[in-house]
Amino acid sequence: MSLKGNIEVSKRKFCLFETIDMLHRRSRLYKDSSKMTQQERFLLMRYDLKLLENVERMVEHIGKVYDFFLSAEPLEEWWWHLDKVASGELEVEIGLRQKDKVL
């Protein structure tokens, strides 16, 4: 698992389809998060925080090609529900989780 590439949501303009691809990539990272190192999880947390800092802007941008109302993804994948995050309907908690330990 690698989080190569620096995603600067606040400074870079993304093509709409790149942005949708970013949401799909975030879902894959969510599914593979148990394979990440602590450093990778920390980096992902930083990217998530950056996305949340720019949530209104991203909702406006993504909303040009994606209808959040039709999103069927689970709420745990909050990045597919940025409209609800922006409105306060969905609260997101970002933090590092401890990996399962084997004794």
What are the pLDDT digits (tens) for 26-74? 999 999 989 999 999 999 999 999 999 999 999 999 999 999 999 999 9
96 has a pLDDT exceeding 90: no
CB under 8 Å to 35, separation ≥6 — which residues? 1
Q: What is the pTM of this model?
A: 0.78
- How much is the pLDDT for 14? 65
How far CA 92 is from CA of 5, 47, 76, 88, 89, in Å, comes to: 24, 14, 9, 9, 10
- How much is the pLDDT for 66? 92
What are the pLDDT digits (tens) for 77-88? 999 999 999 999
Q: In a 3-state reduction of DSSP, which class is residue 11?
A: coil
User: Could you tell me the pLDDT band of residue 16, with boundaries at 50, 70 and 90?
Assistant: confident
CB under 8 Å to 7, separation ≥6 — which residues? 22, 47, 50
